[in-house]
Amino acid sequence: MTTGATEANRATDAAGSAQALSVRLFLAGLGAAELMTAYLGIRLGLYVELAKAPATAGEFALRAGIDRRYAREWLEQQAAAGILTTDQSEENPQRRVFTLPSGHAEALTDLDSPFSIAPLVLLPIGGMASVLPRVADAFRTGQGIPYAEYGAELRGGQAGLNKPVFRHQLAGWIAATLPDVHAALGGAGGRIADVACGSGWSSIALAQAYPRARVHGLDLDERSVADARHNAAEAGVADRVEFEVRDAADPDLAGRYDLVCVFDALHDMARPVEVLRACRSLLAPDGTVLLMEPNVGERFTAPAPETERFQYAVSLLHCLPVGLAEEESAATGTVMRPATVRAYAAEAGFRQVKVLPVRHTFHRLYRLR
């Protein structure tokens, strides 16, 4: 092959690669824009209203309390995106009836459903996009962004994503993979410490699964603890679940626990080894620390699977900046691989780290002893 032919092939390959990336990022931009329109549907209660009954644009505007013209544009856009259905034979746009299919309604409005997707809409659009200029500044300064600055929609989105996992799967995972812990909690009543409990859904799920156990939820974020107390009262378990704004490393923290949990939080922490060391100090003699962390690959690969691409994006926009908000940070980020967990645990004094045989797209469970 001549030099000229080789250069022509390279130019063709480069053009094809450029086109492929342009198409991919166009589709990503389309997805981002449609995610924003779904955010409006959640934020304004539009899906909840349309789930009650189909409607024309005029009827829907009155029911939802929004402007008629905006109502029509949103309904048409949602139908064009395939989220709503409508009678395409009706030429008069004022008479078209729009319907939210029952399966889509479940995914968008039922926060207890295992298919709930609304929190994943709130998380990037309501929680992360608002601080994006701060993230850009952090790139230049190396500083972090405190968790509280991400606001209520990040907090709610994060809690909502994990709520179905805690509600539908957590107790089953413990019973199947930690039979000794299951027996201790289900007998005369054990003690559970839920470190970095957030909005409390993990604590509530454990209290519901083990009616004789007492659960102590700890978190440093005051708003999260306030949410947790409200959620526990609504769930009817406030008599057995106590929440505190408190550091697990507080030497005055009393009690020994059969189970100490850290769910989807260690990778966010500036000093994860210190946290694990504090968790170890809270254990009863035969106690267990249970971690839930992202299910990422054993080693870095590029390009990565879609789930790991998602974890990296969340890390860049939220978890790493939060972790860097304190000085002398481990700066772990969301993509905390099993080798890192083992290294942190060993430094904290644990002799055994076991990956539990749990299958989940986004989560991996570890037992530390």
Higher pLDDT, 78 or 13: 78
Strands across the sheet containing 241-245: 241-245, 214-219, 191-195, 257-263, 283-294, 363-368, 353-355
The phi and psi torsions of 323 (rounded to 5 degrees) equal: -65, -30
363 pLDDT tier (thresholds 50, 70, 90): very high
- Pick from 206, 181, 195, 357: which is nearest to 276 by CA? 195
Asked if residue 260 has pLDDT above 70, the reply is: yes
Q: What is the pLDDT of residue 334?
A: 96
pLDDT digits (tens, 9 = 90+) for 291-332: 999 999 999 999 999 999 999 999 999 999 999 999 999 999
Burial (CB count <10 Å: 0-12, 13-18, 19+), residue 279 = buried
For 97, residues 6+ apart whose C-beta sits below 8 A from its C-beta are 54, 55, 56, 86, 87, 90
Q: Mean pLDDT over all residues of the chain?
A: 93
Beta-bridge partners for 262: 195, 291
DSSP class of residue 55? B
Total H helices, total E strands in the chain: 16, 9
Residue 115 and residue 107 in contact, taking contact as beta carbons nearer than 8 Å: yes
Beta-bridge partners for 244: 218
pLDDT digits (tens, 9 = 90+) for 178-197: 999 999 999 887 999 999 99
Mean pLDDT in residue range 113-117? 91
Mean pLDDT in residue range 248-256? 79
Query: Looking at the domain 127-368, which fold is it?
Result: Rossmann fold (3.40.50)
- Pick from 158, 169, 230: which is nearest to 196 by CA? 158
Q: What is the pLDDT of residue 247?
A: 86
Q: Pinpoint the residues of the chain covered by CATH 3.40.50.150.
A: 127-368
- Pick from 217, 210, 211, 166: which is nearest to 196 by CA? 217
Detail the DSSP E strand segments found in 167-255.
Answer: 191-195, 214-219, 241-245
Asked if residue 1 has pLDDT above 60, the reply is: no
Higher pLDDT, 80 or 7: 80
Specify the range with the lowest mean pLDDT, choosing from 7-11, 120-124, 130-134, 299-303.
7-11
* Residue in the block written with tokens 């860097």: 324
Q: Pinpoint the residues of the chain covered by CATH 1.10.10.10.
A: 3-109
Question: SS3 helix, strand, coil % of the chain, rounded to 5?
Answer: 55, 15, 30
Q: Does domain 3-109 have CATH number 1.10.10.10?
A: yes
59 pLDDT tier (thresholds 50, 70, 90): very high
